[in-house]
Amino acid sequence: MEETAMTELPESFGMLSRLMVLRMAKRLPLGMPENDGKIPDDFEKLSSLEILNLGKNNFHSLPSSLRGLSLLKKLMLSHCEELKSLPPLPSSLQEVNIANCFALESIYDLSNLGDLYDLNLTNCEKVVDIPGLECLKS
């Protein structure tokens, strides 16, 4: 659904339980109305999801249900310039890209991400503490 005219997920998107990849990276053209900074809280229904790309969106926050995606390996949120915090994340994650999330201030404890090998925080200058980072394998 990258670069589509859709500005939000339909309420029934949670019925796609076998969906493995969801790409909704998008930058709205100037003059287009923005969404209200929220995304649906039904992510746990997408139980087969392995890759989630929500980059270039204007979300302020992510739903806590994101943690329920037990097969998610790759989370891409680059250029989500309004994102202020990262909620608890699924322990299955291997890659997290939050580069250029200029408003990002807080990240939930990462100590449960034992398989994480790529964490991109480029230009996240408001983040001063990354709880649990010391617990990750080097």
Domain boundaries, the chain: 1-7+15-138
d(CA 113, CA 107): 13
Here the tokens at position 3 are 């670069």
* Digit-coded pLDDT (tens) for 87-128: 999 999 999 999 999 999 999 999 999 999 999 999 999 999
Task: Specify the pTM.
Answer: 0.81
Instruction: Give the HSE-up count for residue 109: Cα atoms under 13 Å, Cβ half-sphere.
Output: 4
Here the tokens at position 69 are 């995606």
Query: Which string of b and e fits 33-54 if b means at least 16 CB within 10 Å?
Result: eeeeeebeebbbbbbebbebbb
Collapsed DSSP state (helix, strand, coil) of residue 13: helix
- Looking at the structure, give the CATH architecture of the domain made up of residues 1-7+15-138: Alpha-Beta Horseshoe (3.80)
Strand order in the sheet with 51-53: 21-23, 51-53, 74-76, 95-97, 118-120
d(CA 75, CA 88): 13
Per-residue confidence (pLDDT) for residue 20, from 0 to 100? 74
Q: With bands split at pLDDT 50, 70 and 90, how would you rate the model's confidence at 131?
A: very high
Residue 12 pLDDT > 90 = no
* Digit-coded pLDDT (tens) for 32-71: 345 455 666 777 788 899 999 999 988 889 988 899 999 9
